[in-house]
A = this chain, B = another copy of it.
Amino acid sequence: MTPSSTQQNPLIAKLERFGPLSDGDRAAVQGISTPVEYVSAQTDLVHEGEKPRGTLLMLEGMAYRYKMRASGARQIVAYLLPGDMGDLDVGLLNHMDHSVGTFSECKVAWIKPEALAGIQQAHPAVASALRMSTLVDEATLREWLLNVGGRSSIERVAHLFSELLLRLQVVGLVTGDSYKLPIRQEELGDTTGMSTVHVNRVLMELRRRGLIDLSGGSLTILNRRDLEALAEFKPNYLHLGEWRAA
């Protein structure tokens, strides 16, 4: 991983989609994004049952929240992309009810509850944007529930890829219609509630239909309109550009 200090803080990029920030607001956000840590791929950042260490902030790389069943089956319940955070109020809990693991190597920061409280008090615009961001996380969870509960296997995968395209675009990690996807088929299966074998067949079908190219850890969406139509993708739940419309 290349620490890219020249690149803008993805959290700032994300929060600015929820409302205008002043220079002071941006500086404050940058201030809580440190110190940073690097964590290698396939590593747990948070373990279910433990006391939370602070609020996680993703700066680079991809991670995921998950829960385990007694059988050993894993359900991935959220993806954490650059700019994404853990819960603002997680400090209220004594025991985490889920775990967080990394897909790829990640650059992260752990924000202390006091620092979070401080920035929310001193910077109301940041506070609003952070709360919006939490609302969107919850809305995304609802959309995932609809995805797994209601859509066919090919629709599920198409929806996931459509959502990631938009979320990664917000933080400037999409080139053309292409982005890095450091996720194995097994993990896509644990995300969508499908077996690895069937994930493979669905991916083959998406390729056959000329909708995607997935190779070398990169996903290229070859026909965005058709992919989104297949997924019945309506991005309203991400609440992007909401304040402009107000």
Contact = CB atoms under 8 A, between A and B. Distances in A.
A12 to B, nearest CB: 18
Nearest to A237: B97
Interface string A137-153: 11101111110111100
Interface residues on A, range: 35 or more
A132 interface: yes
Contact of A236 (B97, B193, B243): B97
A187 to B, nearest CB: 13
**Looking at A141, A151, A236, A242, which has the most chain B CB atoms within 10 Å of its CB?**
A141
A142 B138 CA distance: 9
A93 interface: yes
Contacts of A77: 142, 145-146
A93 B148 contact: no
A131 interface: yes
